[in-house]
Structure 1
Amino acid sequence: MNTSVAQTDCPEVKVPVLLFFTIGLVSLAENFLVVVAVLRNRNLHSPMYCFICSLAAFNTIASLTKTWETMMIAFADVGQLEKTGSSETKLDDVMDSLLCMSFVGSISSFLAIAVDRYITIFHALRYHNIMTMRRTRAILGVIWTTCGLTAVLMVRFFAAKFTMICFVVFFVISLAIICFLYVYMFMLARIHARKIAALPTAGGRKCRWQGSSMRGALTLTILFGTFMVCWAPFFVHLIIIMVCPTNPYCECYRSLFQLHMVLLMSHALIDPAIYAFRSAELRQTFKKMLFCTNWKPYS
């Protein structure tokens, strides 16, 4: 994806291998910690945290993949691996498949989280009947199976322009749906808040309603905004490959490919920090795990 075919005055920007390796290891540890925390703490066994756990698992796959790829590049640079060997090519395809899977899985998890938040806020009385744990597990099963198959097909037929078009269209449509849901949620929430404020004794109720109903949506809005910032440059790169593969000005943007990959990897690094900052329950779980405090895993 980063092969330049046009002459350009913009040299390719190189990022130190150690930076890739460090980001990969730190994000791998962080997201693995999130997965373990959700699994251990029964208080976090809810549909929203199941989807967050799925998102962290996809981030873990992305971090592990990029860390392993960075190690392979380092070995190849010192002559320990052939960059064009058959086994190396097959392994590179596997890593590309896992990276595609992590992307499709991340945005699918965001979509599931957005729908869950919508039901939580506007169908609160029926939420536990609609979003049962059985349905949550079924949704996660569909997400993981679909993402795995999609990733294999994308890498297998990535040379076809149609595949890249589908990849970009999926990204744009998913962003549009998620943005619509969040905008719609906040608009309705504002209307409901005004109605509650108009009631004679609604002051305290208004604060409680806003605090309990919108905190989760705000957290996930921050997560989604981070996702867009970190992944958008990579997709602009894909669009440029399709639209102007030989234009020198486009080549200048493509010369920043490694920086785009740093942003992409940083997404897996930033997400756990947002979880910990916004969720008191998750912060307490992290502290108990890190300091080996005696606690009941399913209390």
Structure 2
Amino acid sequence: MKYKVGFIGCGNMASAIIGGLKAHAGIDASEIIAADASEAAREKAKETLSICTTASNTEVSTQADVLFLSVKPQYYETVIAEIQPTLPAGQIIVTIAPGKTLAWLGERLGDVKIVRTMPNTPALVGEGITGVCKNNLVTEDEFAYVLKLLSSFGLAEAIPESLMDAVVSVSGSSPAYVFLFIEAMADAAVADGMPRAQAYKFAAQAVLGSAKMVLETGKHPAELKDMVCSPAGTTIEAVRVLEEKGFRGAVMDAMKACTAKAKGI
């Protein structure tokens, strides 16, 4: 049987992508195969996603038309050395590792079609966003097809590779900043007497709703902020304290550090 989409590594991110492909990209489970060194990961993927799994990376790499390398960055060198001699002609390889540039990948994979991506963990709930770029061997039609696959678990945006490290900080790593913000807001609500479970719900929904307002109204975040800040009101007082404590600068500094780390991986 010829499998169309293969995954080397079937952890959380791969599972999120596979779920999106099945639900929104018209890819049947029978057209997907995944390999993982962990038997537990293989069994979980087989049970929850109804796909074919194997312990052999080369079994996947030789059968897939589109091959996702969904292992951690530190394993890329080893996995690529294993599969490179047997890669079929015309195959498209999709990577999801920060710091692994098209040039670095090309040196190790040879003259193959490569699409470099940076997804984020909200893909697990179908609300991810993925930055995407390609090498010169990928045709525009092929790139459009890969973008369609990546859009099955959220948004996918084509970007120049020079912005990929910025994507790491603004979306790849940023869910952690948002979770920290939600946790801090919930802690404050608990201190004010709200039960913790309810505090998380209020804080998380406020973040979700605010994000939707940015995306769906098209208004500048500053304009939306001003809509909430009544004269001499509670919100502007909270904003004053955040500015006094360096909230905006701290976020920007954190993202700069994240981008610098991504460049050095």
TM-score normalized by structure 2? 0.29
Q: Which one has the bigger strand percentage?
A: 2
With a CA cutoff of 8 Å and minimum separation of 6, indicate the structure with the bigger relative contact order.
1
